Amino acid sequence: MKKRALISVFDKEGILDFAKFLVSKDVEIVSTGGTYRYLKENGLDVIEINEVTNFPEMLDGRVKTLHPLVHAGILAIRDNEKHMNTLKEREIHTIDYVVVNLYPFFEKVKEDLSFEEKVEFIDIGGPTMLRAAAKNFQDVVVISNKNDYSVVMNEIQQDGEVSFVTKKKLAGKVFNLMSAYDGAIANFLLGDEEYPEYLSVSYKKMQGLRYGENSHQSAAVYGLATADGAMNTFETLNGKELSYNNFKDVDIAWKCANEFEETACCALKHNTPCGVATGETSYDAYMKAYNVDPTSIFGGIVAF
């Protein structure tokens, strides 16, 4: 029996090359909706999901993979004779790769959309397949992040298969993602409830840092996945990677500058303002802040 991959992705970056790689390794591709059409239009021989389930997609695509013929193929333990006999009796094909990325709820919840429109970006089928595959990671390679396509391809190319260690890590990534995804949805639906029974927060890694509070420590910075703000939307234009202390300085300087309604500048070094001023223009405010302490501002942080 050929190995089979189920691919259903909202973000299609990199998926064509990955699907072509799987086909080159004699893996059948099963796909859904827009992903099926995309792969088919690009010349791949793809099995549409309703050919597996013998049931058409329905309810505007809300129901397409929620079917025993899909989930039995994912969840069957290959070393369990009873499981495999059940699949054989019911003519169910195993699914050996599950490649899914989700509707972009993190991004859409921040946009100026109606409540009903945001609800439509709550993914149901995707998380269900990911959870099933992650539970059965010993037998199923599950990919929820497009950055892992290359990891899987490299291991298959070198060793002929994906290692247990990598499959376990990929499964862990699924539940890491789902905890944040579900937490974002819960907070969206609970709205202004002051003290929910469970406190769920969804933070996404923005970048690694050059070092932590001290040079021998490692660190990373995370930003809220469901909202934008000064600290998780700025862009580094040039220079070295920032450190933990740089981020702490930027945070304090930014908060200080925002204490003023008029144009203001905060010059800061080692978590301590060394010059704060207001002015008619940004340049005017900066020069005033600079002249408070021209020595300490060297190598420091400036925020407006």
CB of 130 closer than 8 Å to CB of 97:
no
CA separation for the pair 191, 182 (Å, rounded): 14
Q: Which residues are catalytic?
A: 135, 270
Strands of the sheet containing 272-278, edge to edge, are 272-278, 264-269, 301-303
How far is it, in rounded angstroms, from Cα 168 to Cα 149? 15
Q: Where are the alpha helices (DSSP H) in 13-104?
A: 15-24, 33-41, 49-53, 68-75, 81-89
Nearest to 57 by CA among 35, 31, 33, 34: 33
Q: How far apart are CA 281 and CA 22, in angstroms?
A: 59
Phi/psi region, residue 102 (left: phi>0; alpha: psi -120 to 50; beta: rest), is beta
Cα–Cα distance between 129 and 8 in angstroms, integer?
Answer: 10
Kindly state the tokens that stand for 298.
């060297």
Beta bridge partners of 5: 29, 97
- Cα of first residue to Cα of last residue in the chain, in angstroms, is 64
Cα–Cα distance, 8 to 31 (Å, whole number): 6
